[in-house]
Structure 1
Amino acid sequence: MPQYHHLARLPGCLLLRRSLSLCAALLAACGGGGASSDTPPLDASVAFAATDLDFPNPERGMTRGLGPLASVSDNQLAALSADGVRLAYAPLRLDPWRDASLPDNLLTQLDDAFVRVRQAGLKLVLRVSYNDPAVPGGDLRDASLARIREHIARLAPTLASNADVIAYWQAGFIGAWGEWHDSTNGLDAPDARLAVRDALIAALPPGRSLQFRQPADLQRWYPTPADASTTGAQARIGLHNDCFLADDTDVGTYPDGEPQRSYIRQLTAITPFGGETCAPPDPARARNSCADILREGAEYHVSYLGEDYYTPTFHDTWAAQGCLGTVRTRLGYRFELTRLAHTASAAPGETIGLRLELVNRGWARLHNARPVQLLLRHEESGQIVRIPLAGVDPRQWTPGQAILIKLRVTLPAGLASGRHALLLALPDEDPRLADDPRYAIRPANADQGGQGWDAALGAFALGSRITLR
């Protein structure tokens, strides 16, 4: 069943999801469409061709790891950006302050690092930890509950002010690698975990999600997985699996088997899922075929997957079996425009009709809010006007679903007469990133016949025009 997003000119008709006949009746009642005689005509239309091209898009895809975030080098950031990486895993290590408060100079270094991440066109998957058990002879301690609470509160303003380049925040802090096991301070106990969860939620920047490592914690806190009606903190809590596909339990991620897997499959339809593969204890039990990743990538709605570790059993096998390219393009969202119809001519200040059809070919929904804009580019002067499509939320464009957007759009007064080319843009919502095309979403459509990606604007030329009288 397609999803229908209807925007009328009265609040009661916003974002209704019902049958076409019911929507037509409601829109007519609101003066916003349907069979009403003042419905603007849709007398221009174009179709779009899909592409299998693999191109970078923000907040999704294969991730690569940075060095320690506070001291990450400009060279590393530039290299990732040049390779088309848009999402990087960023470890924030607090080993030196297990038993001390965080100093001002660390927060200054972090602010500087976020500035440089922004300049490189990247976003981050952030995790805070106190150790790395992979380092021989390393100190495996984490911090006490009191110290963790203090550190979270101290970091909160810095993270909030840089939330534009933090796509996902992994819970971290507790245990080995910050993966919520093998705590040296007794933080594997349920009460301690709950206390850290609450501290993290209090510090979580608005609109961002937390990802925890253990499904059992999520089940204990929220016995029923989040769905489209869920509100509050639960609606922003997902999972990261750092042994995805490794064996029957994903190396202890799902000790209870199918009940936990079923819970996470339902949860990840709403909240973000990502992670990495790991060295399987028994390679014969690894689910590493193309059939496995293509099935479970869709089932678990995977938004991102690390490509630094562990590649021999997994990524290399997918490449050999011929599906690695598909995996790369299916991670996260992948919006494919199919057809556009609109009013062909109008006067400035008048209302036009717009009907856009698309489908999300990716494995996941978009998790962070962003606007959708219609751009008008005057064919003679080149002047560009951006018109926000109010009430259209691309986070609702769910995987595998046909999306129909029907709008009445009021044109700004004072527009120049003549022909205007139409473009569609999904820029970042943060003003610091809104004009940077690297942070804009590119649809999965081919460049043909006047349609194509405008890399300077971060918008897709729709190959159609409107004439203003």
Structure 2
Amino acid sequence: MALLLALGLLALGGCTGWTGGGKGPSAEPLYAARPDGVYLAGKPLPLYGLNWFGLETCDRAPQGLWEGRSVTEILAQVRGYGFNALRLPVSPAVLRDEGNVASWAQIGDPAYPQSPLAGLRYVLEKAQGLGFYVLLDFHTFRCDLVREQLPGKPFDPARGYTKADWLADLERMARLSLEFPNVFGVDLANEPHALTWAEWKALAQEGAQAVLRVNPRILVAVEGVGNASDSGGYPAFWGENLTEARDDLGLGDRLLYLPHVYGPSVSSQPYFSDPTFPENMPAIWDTHFGHLSTRGLPWGIGEFGGWYTGQDRVWQDRFVEYLRGKGVRVWFYWALNPNSGDTGGILQDDWKTPVQEKLDLLRRLMAGPSGLAFDFLPAEGEVVNPERGFASDSYYPDEPSLDAEAKLAEARSQGFEVRLIRRTYYLHAFAGQDTLPSSFLQTLAQDLANAQAAGVKLILRFAYRPDENRANGPSYCDPPKERILSHLAQIGPVLRQHLGVIAYLEAGLIGPWGEWHSASPEAALMDPLPGYQEGSQPPCGRQNYDRKLPNPKTLEVVQALLQEVPGRKVAVRYPMAKAKLLELEAGGPVGTYPAATYFTPLTPAEAHGNTLKARLGAHNDCFLSSENDYGTYYYDPGPQQDLEREYWSQDTLYTVMGGETCTPGPYVPPGEDPAGYVYRQFQRFRFSSLNLHYHPDFIRWLRETPFGSGSLLDALKRDLGYRLYLRRAEVSSNQLRALETLTLRLYLENQGFGGLYNPKGVELVFMREGDGLVVGRVLDTRFYGPVPGGEAVYTYTVQAPPEPGVYALWLRIYDPDLPEDSRYNLRLASRLEYRDGRNHLALYVQVR
């Protein structure tokens, strides 16, 4: 606690903290202190903390275990209230493993070690498992020194403890910090009230160096002194006075100022009886420590608290508003313990019942208002996930078999983390035979198995013509419809056996590259566009781009393909083609351009059904190549082209859009910013995937074009496909009986270009602390998430586990076709722990 010089004060409080990662320090800081708070690995880390005392006393154990509650039970309870940080006061006896642990420690926690140092490690381990960040507080150099006996400085040779002893103990804390990455800092000395600022500054610099020599990745916390009054005549509590602090002590982002401050229940200061109280307080706080904000120096609060009654309630209410106004995101309330004589605690005397009014007060300082909810920050950069992102490319028979692992390695060498491969099978060698060779079917099956072994999904296309028919070149023909249907009937069983690794299919089968133009007149799988005069042609035709109008044969082929891959979407090359297929299915005319009514996008009620309209998606293989994307849209600018563009923009809310570029650079209308225009077009048409190989010059342009804080390529890596940001998770209760009903609410936003085009399963996983017992409850088996750019709230009712314990809540979003393969699970685009295919919701429940 922060206490007033020359007055009798509490015997509890202090400072020392450390943090680590791995088995030794790294050159890169893990934690950093900045003017707006603490950062972990470059990301903001709000710290909503409690002081839990006991380890610094001669009991050498955290208090409260005598009430029959374990360390895990106590921590899980307050973690459930929204606290994510602890300040643990310690003494040299614990650090040096000297003396005995109080016998009551094993009353509530039979596993609590009888060694003081092992006990500290035990608490740190349990805190880490429950998601707590820890600040170790060097509270006092002798456990028997309390209240007025506290020396007010970190060492006292007259009492047998020297500066060298203090520095050695700081090093012990720093070495211990290397074991526990959740320990973020060392509080160098608790309330050095007997020192001037100049004296304390010099010692703090020396103590900080002792810590950082051992572990340079953590923070050092420096409290204020406790002079009787500052230059304005306002008395300061012990640890509060940072009036003279003007710089970072030469520590840069390793320094975090952590003053202590209290209200009337600790000491009756003259300003508490001022007629303007509590509105006189902000100026005093600014004088003592708030001025650090104007100097760009990071600070939080190491201790504050009090009884929540009378004047102390008024003081705490005003102080919380002050901290809110300052944007303070690092604070530690005194105390968790109810037996703090001047302040009380968060828990009542039974060490179980919360002081609800205090919780309500502190929730005003939390981003998530309670342990019943947790608010997440969005993740940065690409979140690698199945069925989205840049895709590698592979062609049969040029590549007789798919080496999926090699494709991933090749893409990684170019800076891409690939979870999709587009595999195109050119079947021209079999175009003249009704039966496909068994060797090809075996190759297809093995390719699909290889994809699963590599943890990727495939975009499949089957085609009979690997190129256009050019003068003096080879001539490729579309097979007759009956032969295509026969081939599909043979391919279908193989595809269904491996359906889980198929992301979607491109319609293919007709025309050069399977792109649905220049159809062979002989097979007549497509008609010419109205008004097109084909004239005389060599066998199978040449580049007849206008022979692209679907007819009944086209519809029959597409329906057969859809039948062979139940549940999967099939992407077609042109918006006109989908509209015409829908018109033909409805019995509409043959040989005409589709009527405008068939360019009506899917509605939410129609989405993801088993209809032709719901299952036909889109691919654009000449994206951003010209005004009409080389015939993707109606040739001439005007209402019809606008209709087709808008149709695809809205229809792909519920289907899939993929493809590639085909020109060295993008077509950009005059007056448009190239980078912004290109990004908006990908966003408008809701792209889920893009070929990373073609066109190589276009990909190079994306890489070299600045956009935002990086390149346009970086932005596309991040935003292609779905990007599910869990903004908030809520539970109805964190104290449950066995098998009691729990309500879970998830607030999700889709920040990506595209959506989920295949259904996912959702499971809430209860993982018990200690033994890792897992209890799963399936919430949904046909989850599609919010549409691109949309948000939604999902509410689920679920039954608690049957066995007692403290359970962490994890969310598993899995592939129903591959439910046991966690490589196909979805990672949320939130700053959270992702482990074994599960997203940690940062919430805990206790089952009794």
Q: TM-score, normalised on structure 2?
A: 0.47
1:332-343 matches, cutoff 5 A: 332-342=721-731, 343=733
- The answer for the alignment partner of 1:428 in structure 2 is 815
Tell me which of 381, 387, 394 is aligned to 2:783: 394
Change over 3 Å in CA distance of 1:135–1:463 after alignment to 2:
farther
Matches within 5 A, 1:30-45: 44-45=372-373
Contact kept, 8 Å, 2:692 with 2:699, in 1: the verdict is no
Contact 1:70/1:110, CA 8 A, preserved across alignment: no
Partner of 2:465: 131
Q: Distance in 2 between matches of 1:285 and 1:241?
A: 19
Distance 1:58 1:135, change over 3 A: farther
Q: Is the 8 A contact 1:246 1:285 kept in 2?
A: no
Q: Secondary structure at the match of 1:389?
A: strand
| Conservation of the 8 A alpha-carbon contact between 2:661 and 2:695 | yes
Q: Distance in 2 between matches of 1:70 and 1:128?
A: 14
Farther-moved stretch of structure 1 (73-82 vs 339-348): 73-82
Structure 1 Cα separation of the partners of residues 579 and 410 of structure 2: 36
- Secondary structure of 1:386 counterpart: strand
One-letter amino acid of the structure 1 residue matched with residue 402 of structure 2:
V
Give aligned-pair identity as a percent: 30
Aligned to 2:604: 228
Q: What's the secondary structure of 1:376's corresponding residue?
A: strand
Name which of 402, 412, 415 aligns with 1:72: 402
1:212 counterpart = 2:212 = no
Equivalent residue in structure 2 for 1:119, among 445, 450, 453: 453
Q: Aligned to 2:508, what secondary structure does the other structure show?
A: coil
Distance 1:288 1:217, change over 3 A: farther
Distance in 2 of aligned mates of 1:80 and 1:353:
46
The one of 619, 624, 646 aligned to 1:245: 624
The total of aligned residue pairs comes to: 416
Partner residue in 2 for 1:444: 829
| Aligned counterpart, 1:408 | 797
2:775 aligns to what SS in structure 1? strand
Q: Tell me whether 1:254 sits opposite 2:588 in the alignment.
A: no
Is 1:87 aligned to 2:468, yes or no? no
Contact persistence 2:654–2:787 (CA under 8 A) = no
Go from structure 1 to structure 2 and tell me whether the alpha carbon gap of 1:64 and 1:363 turns closer, same or farther (over 3 Å shift).
same
Q: What is the CA distance between 1:253 and its match in structure 2?
A: 0.6
Q: How far is the alpha carbon of 1:315 from its aligned partner?
A: 5.0
Provide the secondary structure at the position in 2 that maps to 1:332: coil
Q: Against the structure 1 CA distance between its residues 438 and 293, is the aligned structure 2 distance closer, same or farther, given a 3 Å change threshold?
A: farther
The DSSP-based 3-state class of the residue aligned with 2:826 is coil
Q: Corresponding residue for 2:747?
A: 357
Which has the higher mean CA deviation after the structures are superposed, 66-75 or 221-230?
Answer: 66-75
State how far apart, in whole Å, the 1-side matches of 2:719 and 2:822 are: 21
Corresponding letter in the other structure for 2:423: A
**Local SS of the residue matching 1:107:** helix
2:553 to 168, 174, 192: 192
Q: Secondary structure at the match of 2:705?
A: helix
Name the SS of the counterpart of 2:462 in structure 1: strand
Secondary structure of 2:808's partner? strand
CA distance, structure 1, for counterparts of residue 706 and residue 665 of structure 2: 22
| 1:390-411, Cα deviation, whole Å (9 max, x unpaired) | 37x4314112222212222112
Contact kept, 8 Å, 1:426 with 1:441, in 2: the verdict is yes
1:76, distance to aligned residue in structure 2 (A):
2.3
| Aligned-partner Cα distance in 1 for 2:499–2:481 | 25
Task: Report the Cα distance in structure 2 between the residues aligned to 1:307 and 1:81, rounded to whole angstroms.
Answer: 8
Counterpart code for 1:89: R
Work out whether 1:278 is the aligned partner of 2:662.
yes
Number of the residue aligned with 1:307: 692
Deviation at residue 156 of structure 1 after TM alignment: 1.1
> Alpha-carbon deviation of 1:48?
0.8
Instruction: Structure 2: give runs of 5+ residues left out of the alignment.
Output: 1-369, 528-550, 583-597, 635-639
Q: Which residue of 1 aligns with 2:491?
A: 155
The whole-number CA distance in structure 2 between the counterparts of 1:81 and 1:277 is 18
Q: In the superposition, relative to structure 1, how do residues 434 and 135 fare at CA in structure 2: closer, same or farther (>3 Å)? A: farther
Q: What secondary structure, in the 3-state scheme, does the structure 2 residue paired with 1:118 have?
A: helix
Secondary structure at the aligned position of 2:655 is classed as coil
1:263-319 superposed Cα distances (whole Å, 9 cap, x missing partner): 211211121111111126996769992212321222211111111101323552464
Q: Which secondary structure state, in structure 2, belongs to the residue aligned with residue 240 of structure 1?
A: strand
Q: Residues 377 and 143 of structure 1: is their aligned pair in 2 closer, same or farther, counting only changes over 3 Å? A: same
Q: Aligned residue for 2:222?
A: none
Matches within 5 A, 1:159-178: 159-178=495-514
CA 1:78–1:296: 2 relative to 1, 3 Å: closer
Measured at CA, do residues 85 and 196 of structure 1 come closer, stay the same or move farther in structure 2, by a change above 3 Å?
same
The higher-RCO structure (CA 8 Å, 6+ apart) is 1
Offset of residue 126 of structure 1: 0.4
Task: Tell me, yes or no, if the aligned pair for 1:187 and 1:193 is still in contact at 8 Å.
Answer: yes
- 1:453 paired to 2:843: no
TM-superposed CA distance for 1:43, in Å, is 5.7
| Counterparts of 2:494 and 2:430, CA distance in 1 | 17
User: Using the alignment, how far apart are the partners of 1:150 and 1:438 within structure 2?
Assistant: 35
Q: Which residue matches 1:16?
A: none
* Structure 1 residues 81 and 459: CA distance shift in structure 2, 3 A: farther
Cα distance in 2 for residues equivalent to 1:464 and 1:129? 51
Find the partner of 1:54 among 361, 364, 382: 382
Letter of the aligned partner of 2:378 in structure 1? A
Q: Give the C-alpha shift of residue 110 in structure 1.
A: 1.3
Per-residue CA deviation, residues 231-264 of structure 1 (Å, 9 max, x unaligned), is 4221111111101111100001102421211221
Q: Distance in 2 between matches of 1:405 and 1:389?
A: 10
Secondary structure of the corresponding residue to residue 372 of structure 1: strand
Q: Which has the larger radius of gyration?
A: 2
1:263 equivalent among 630, 647, 669: 647
2:555 corresponds to 1:179: no
On the 8 A contact 1:132/1:138 being kept in 2, the answer is no
Equivalent AA in structure 2 for residue 372 of structure 1: V
Q: Quote the Cα distance in structure 2 between the aligned partners of 1:236 and 1:377.
A: 38
SS at match of 1:178: coil
1:77 Cα deviation from its structure 2 partner: 4.3
